[in-house]
């Protein structure tokens, strides 16, 4: 188990990490998700011992490891750009961690060879042991980097943007493969990513980071369905931000009234922002809704993304099924009504509510499509 306690790190005036605490349980795969500069890589490097915290401590299995050198932490680190030793063959790269051990702890040559070959089989690179890194494709290099990190049998595997330097197709394959590998080996893993889809698909738990702090920690579905802050809402995929006011126990989004859950309605008046997922927006010709102007439609496989404009010129997006889109027959420049079925309301004073449409929309509910397509895995 990894325990990060109140860690801060400052780089010449830039606060990379600000009092961050985090627990990673044995055998779990955790994603550190955030935009660049959010401190996620710094946190990973501090866990690995490649960087050190100004204040705070790191504990492995309850033991303080804050001052332990990287090589003694028993972590496997996979670098964003692989960092393979360019003058060594694939075999020697994987064997490196075993070969540099002290004589007393070093396995025999035959044992090293056996272990390396086993790892190369596991990453499906058996036949490429004699090649040099420069002779491999990006995906192959990534797998060598993984095998090298696993060779020393680390108790924790740390991966920095493991798929960042690969093209889209290889990326998808490799991340499924990583998930399978993790399930087979049962090793504790932490990986850094700025790709929300990657984090939601691969990780058991997601840690959303922003400006050197943790915004939210939760399972992929918790993070996606109940974002704790406006930042998390914004960062996890497309979202519309609509200005809203509250009065008389009802939220007003433009001309649309939305209700609170039983007994949750705030007293008095307030103002804030309502976040609406595009697949929660229905488009109507009459009824209750926010007045918008139709701008543009993009067909994305089975769904259609409709871009519209609010009265104040702000953009708002809806995602419809193709069937519904054809049925509506929207024209460019046409004035229609946008009706969010549900929204997350963040008031300026920090309070947060889930609000839903008071009047039933005329059209049938639309099944969430690719945008919300998060895979539910292991309970």
Partner 1 sequence: MATAATLPTTSAVPRQISRKARRAAWTRRILIGLAFLLTALFLLVPVAVIFQQAFARGVPTFWANITHPETLHAIWLTVLVALIVVPINAFFGLCAAWAIAKFQFRGKKLLIALIELPFSISPIVAGVAYLMVYGSRGIFGPWLEEHGLQVMFALPGIVLVTLFVTCPFIARQVLVLMQSQGVDEEEASLSLGAGGFKTFLYVTLPNLKWALIYGVILCNARAMGEYGAVSVVSGQIRGQTNTLPLQVDLLYHDYNAAGAFAAASVLAVLALITLAVKTIVEIRSRTE
Residues at the site binding partner 1, with contacts judged by CB under 8 A: 48-50, 69-73, 75-77, 79, 81, 83-87, 96-97, 100-101, 148-149, 151-152
Which is closer to partner 1, CB of 50 or CB of 228? 50
| Nearer to partner 1 among residue 29 and residue 50 (C-beta) | 50
Nearer to partner 1, 50 or 337 (CB): 50
Q: How far is the CB of 45 from partner 1 (least distance, A)?
A: 9
293 beta partners = 309, 335
Cβ 264 to partner 1 shortest distance, Å: 49
Give dist(CA 28, CA 288) in Å, integer.
46
**Please, which residue, 86 or 378, has the CB nearer to partner 1?**
86
CA angle 234, 238, 242 (to 5 degrees): 65
**CB 135, min distance to partner 1, A:** 12
- Of 66 and 352, which has the nearer Cβ to partner 1? 66
| Tokens read off for 220 | 């992929």
Q: Least distance to partner 1 from the beta carbon of 54, Å?
A: 15
CB of 203 to partner 1, least distance (A): 22
Q: Which is nearer to partner 1, 44 or 345 (CB)?
A: 44
Which residue, 92 or 334, has its beta carbon nearer to partner 1? 92
Nearer to partner 1, 145 or 366 (CB): 145
CB of 99 to partner 1, least distance (A): 8
As a whole number of angstroms, the distance between CA 92 and CA 136 comes to 15
Smallest distance, partner 1 to C-beta of residue 48, A: 6
By residue count, the chain amounts to 379
> Whole-angstrom Cα distance, residue 101 to residue 111?
13
Q: How far is the CB of 104 from partner 1 (least distance, A)?
A: 13
Nearer to partner 1, 25 or 153 (CB): 153
Please give the torsion angle defined by the CA atoms of residues 88, 94, 97 and 100, in that order, rounded to the nearest 10 degrees.
Answer: -40
* Least CB distance to partner 1 at residue 127 (A): 23
């Amino acid at each position: 188990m990894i325990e990060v306690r109140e860690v801060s790190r400052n780089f010449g005036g830039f606060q990379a990490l600000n009092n961050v605490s985090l627990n990673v349980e044995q055998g779990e795969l955790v994603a550190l998700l955030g935009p660049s500069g959010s401190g996620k890589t710094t946190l990973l490097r501090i866990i690995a011992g490649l960087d050190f915290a100004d204040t705070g401590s790191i504990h492995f299995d309850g033991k303080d490891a804050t001052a332990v050198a990287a090589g003694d932490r028993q972590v496997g680190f996979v670098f964003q750009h692989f960092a393979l030793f360019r003058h060594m063959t694939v075999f020697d790269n994987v064997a490196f961690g075993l070969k540099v051990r002290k004589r007393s702890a070093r396995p025999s040559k035959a044992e090293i060879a056996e272990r390396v070959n086993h790892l190369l089989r596991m990453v499906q690179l058996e036949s490429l042991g004699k090649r040099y890194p420069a002779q491999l494709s990006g995906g192959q290099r990534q797998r060598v980097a993984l095998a090298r990190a696993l060779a020393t049998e680390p108790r924790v595997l740390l991966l920095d943007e493991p798929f960042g330097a690969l093209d889209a197709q290889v990326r998808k394959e490799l991340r499924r493969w990583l998930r399978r590998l993790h399930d087979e080996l049962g090793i504790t893993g932490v990986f850094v990513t700025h790709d929300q889809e990657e984090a939601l698909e691969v990780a058991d738990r997601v840690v959303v980071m922003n400006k050197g702090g943790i915004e939210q920690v939760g399972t992929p579905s918790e993070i996606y369905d109940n974002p704790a802050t406006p930042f998390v809402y914004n960062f996890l995929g497309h979202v519309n931000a609509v200005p809203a006011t509250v009065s008389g126990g009802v939220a007003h989004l433009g001309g649309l009234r939305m209700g609170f859950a039983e007994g949750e309605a705030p007293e008095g008046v307030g103002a804030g922002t309502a976040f609406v997922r595009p697949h929660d927006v229905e488009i109507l010709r009459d009824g209750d809704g926010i007045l918008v102007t139709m701008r543009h439609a993009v067909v994305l496989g089975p769904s259609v993304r409709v871009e519209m404009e609010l009265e104040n010129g702000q953009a708002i997006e809806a995602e419809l099924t193709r069937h519904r889109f054809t049925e509506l027959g929207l024209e460019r420049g046409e004035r229609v009504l946008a009706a969010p079925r549900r929204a997350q309301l963040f008031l300026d004073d920090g309070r947060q509510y889930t609000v839903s449409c008071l009047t039933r929309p005329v059209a049938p509910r639309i099944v969430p499509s690719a945008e919300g397509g998060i895979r539910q895995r292991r309970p």
